[in-house]
Amino acid sequence: MFRGASWLTAVARLWIMVPALIAGTLKSLFILDNTARKGVHRILEMADGTCLGAVYSIRTWLLVLVMMGSGMALRQSALPRELLGGLYVAIGWALFFSSRHAWQAWRHISNQQEKQ
C-alpha cells in the first residue's frame, strides 16, 4: 500500500488513491471479510502448539503464493505507475481493512483475560 502511494506521489497522481481506497473497501467487505472471519475462527479453534501453517488450507497457501508471484510480476511489468500504484493501494487497503477481524478477536480475548 505504501509502495503504491509512493508511486502515485512520484507521478503526481495522488487523486488515484480515492478510487483505489473505495475499491479496496469494497473488496474487503464483499470478498475478504468472509475469509478473514474463517481464519480467525480456525485460529481460535486450534490447540496450543499447532503449527501456524495449519491456519489455512493447502489451497489457500497456493493462492497466497500465486498472489505474491503476481505482485512481483506486476512490479516488473511495463504497466504505468499510475495503474500499478492504484492496484497496490487498493489491494493493500483491502488486506489491511479486513485484518480488523483479527484485531477485534484479539481485543475480545484480551478483555476476557483481564476480567479473570
What digits encode the pLDDT tens for the residues 41-64? 888 888 676 777 777 778 888 988
Please report the pLDDT score of residue 28 as a whole number.
96
Report the C-alpha gap between 65 and 14 in whole angstroms: 29
Please report the pLDDT score of residue 43 as a whole number.
82
Find, among 63, 70, 65, the residue nearest to 87 by Cα: 70
Please report the pLDDT score of residue 12 as a whole number.
93
Find, among 29, 2, 3, 18, the residue nearest to 98 by Cα: 29
Q: What is the chain's percent helix, strand, coil content, to nearest 5?
A: 85, 0, 15
Please report the pLDDT score of residue 56 as a whole number.
78
Find, among 64, 71, 112, the residue nearest to 90 by Cα: 71
Please report the pLDDT score of residue 44 as a whole number.
83
Average pLDDT over the chain reads 90
Report the C-alpha gap between 90 and 8 in whole angstroms: 12
- Whole-model pTM over 0.75: yes
